[in-house]
Amino acid sequence: MIKLLKPIGHCYGVVNALNIAKQTVKEYPDKTIYVFGLLVHNEEVRKELDSLGIITLDLKGIDPLARLREFNQDDVVIFTAHGHPDIYESILKERGVTFIDSTCKRVKDCFNIIRKANHVIYIGKKDHPEANAALTMNNNVYFYDINEPFDYSKVKASDPLVINQTTLSFLELKKIHEEIKNNIPNAIMVDEICNATLLRQQALLALNEEVDTIIIVGSKKSSNTMKLYELAVASHPNKQIYLFESVQDCIDKPIKYTNAVIASGTSTPMKTINQIKEYLERNTGYGKR
């Protein structure tokens, strides 16, 4: 048997970004529409945008400011759900280029807190677009990369605000908060993990012994998908854990299960989840443990 672990599929921030992209196509039929980076971290979503005629720009290895200066008034630029530095908008305004902001409200709220703080320790994943943008929101931000030891000697305040990327693991964040408190007792903690991410992690942790297989569906580029996968591996050592991005991954890697659960990252379309579920159900004769 296969069950879906809820909440599942797109979160409200992703739904909003996709609606904005579709609306932009209707409003600007005569312009070339670009998404500046990945609208959300999912290949199926990128393909859907392709089919609408929206060009997704891969920003890997390119200077974003130089690329922004190449747009002209025949273009419309959509900024992604993860947020972007303020200077991106300034450059397009100067050039008279239309831009649309699909940044998730939850991410915007986080940026506004950072803007108002004196000194900030920002906990996030290096090179993630949300973290990159957050680091530009205040001149006194110290970056706590979740994959590196943090240098406390560089913090020039006794009571910095500690804030984080919205898609981290809540268990990982708890540990980091404890470590920071031990080093900076007056640090002010603000937990900005969004509910769409948190509820999925909590549901995953609560799985009981009857479940023998967990399938996480989503992209390896998606922060919250990878956090779900890592949490599943760490908290359920006796279960089989798989990470699939598309139904092709199931075909390439046949699995055996008795009671499986499918969970997904917030950027994963329901279509992909249902395709994987249906494929596995159709192939239970082959796949049964």
Pick 15 or 255: Cβ nearer ligand SF4: 15
The residues near 94 (Cβ < 8 Å, ≥ 6 apart) are none
Instruction: For the CB of residue 192, give the shortest distance to ligand SF4 in the complex, in Å.
Output: 9
CB of 241 to ligand SF4, least distance (A): 21
Name the residue nearer to ligand SF4 (CB basis): 42 or 197: 197
Min dist CB 212 to ligand SF4, Å, is 28
Provide, rounded to whole angstroms, the least separation between the CB of residue 1 and ligand SF4.
28
CB–CB of 205/231 below 8 Å? yes
Q: Smaller CB distance to ligand SF4: residue 105 or 174?
A: 105
Nearer to ligand SF4, 138 or 264 (CB): 264
Closest to ligand SF4 by CB, 124 or 287? 124
* Minimum distance, C-beta of residue 232 to ligand SF4, in the bound complex (Å): 18
Where on the chain is the footprint of ligand SF4 (CB under 6 A)?
Answer: 11-14, 81, 104, 106-107, 166-167, 194, 196-197, 224, 266
Q: How far apart are CB 151 and ligand SF4 at their closest, in Å?
A: 28
Residue with Cβ nearer ligand SF4 (14 or 247): 14
Closest-approach residue to ligand SF4 (CB): 13
